[in-house]
Amino acid sequence: MRWTVFNQKGGVGKSTIVCNLAAVSARKGRRTLVVDLDPQANATRYLLGGGADGVEPNLAGLFEQTLGFGLFRKGAQGFLHRTPFDRLELLPSSAELLDLQPKLEAKYKIYKLREALDELDGFDAVYLDTPPALGFYTLSALIAADRCLIPFDCDDFSRRALYGLLDSVREVREDHNGDLKVGGIVVNQFQGRARLPRQLVEELKREGLPVLEPYLSSSVKVRESHQAAKPLPYLAASHKLTGELEALFDTIDRHNGG
């Protein structure tokens, strides 16, 4: 199953959720791949630490070769990197994706990521991290995915934006990827003691939106985990937020059949 985590809003937890769900998946014994489509390369840094700087080959190289006429094309497998974590591999990002984007758009390369991922076998789960914009890379990810997960940061503007996001998913499904389904809304940075977050999440549920449980708490451990380049299951196996991530993984698994 391929999962795209997306929300046009910046800083809602996309990269954190991608890397931590992937870590839970790998620790459960599944062969897992993270694909980083964000030129900011935060997921790449989270999984590779210092090894992320200038990492080659990367996703920009994979896209770049779709623009050329060269006879030799390296298969997608040749762009994957091992991470320090067992069974967790990475197709890393690079800032070069920024310059490449208009060229890829001009030549309608929107299906190339799906074709590349179709070539890979042996992965039980693939998690795609997207930039905070509904541009070429996010669309490529939605076209390549079976399911999308939408992080929600318990903010009123974000709640209003959710309807637009769900419309975008519907449009991608109609125009490009009939298999794409909404896997659910992931509530992140939830502060259970405050009234507003509870109220906002209740409203979403009343409106029939697929809100997943449990909600992910806000914790300073997340920053520590980024700093240490270790997803929470590896950094703090018994932390409350790690438990929530594991339970969320099981919920997603149950609702979506693995």
Contact indicator for 129, 14 with CB cutoff of 8 Å: yes
In angstroms, give the least distance from the CB of 125 to ligand ATP.
19
Q: Does 130 bind Mg ion (CB under 5 A)?
A: no
Interface with Mg ion, residue 9, by CB under 5 A: no
Stretch that binds ligand ATP, among 76-84, 113-121, 137-145, 220-228 (CB under 6 A): 220-228
> Which lies closer to Mg ion via its Cβ, residue 15 or residue 20?
15
DSSP-derived secondary structure letter, 78: G
49 sits in the region (left: phi over 0; alpha: psi -120 to 50; else beta) called left
As a whole number of angstroms, the distance between CA 13 and CA 216 comes to 10
The footprint of ligand ATP on residues 111-140 (CB under 6 A) is 132
Output the DSSP codes for 198-250: HHHHHHHHHTT--B-SSPPBP-THHHHHHHHT--HHHH-TTSHHHHHHHHHHH
2 counts as binding Mg ion under rule CB under 5 A: no
User: Of 76 and 137, which has the nearer Cβ to ligand ATP?
Assistant: 137
Among the listed ranges 24-32, 61-69, 114-122, 222-230, the one in contact with ligand ATP (CB under 6 A) is 222-230
Q: Give the range of 15-23, 72-80, 102-110, 202-210 binding Mg ion by CB under 5 A.
A: 15-23
14 binds Mg ion (CB under 5 A): yes
Nearer to ligand ATP, 79 or 215 (CB): 215
- Residue choice 168, 218, 251, 256 for contact with ligand ATP (CB under 6 A): 218
Q: Rule CB under 5 A: choose which of 7, 15, 58, 188 binds Mg ion.
A: 15
Measure Cα distances from 134 to 122, 158, 165, 190 in Å: 29, 15, 9, 25
Across 178-200, b (16+ Cβ under 10 Å) vs e yields eebebbbbbbbbbeeeeeebeeb
Which residues are near Mg ion by CB under 5 A?
Answer: 14-15, 42
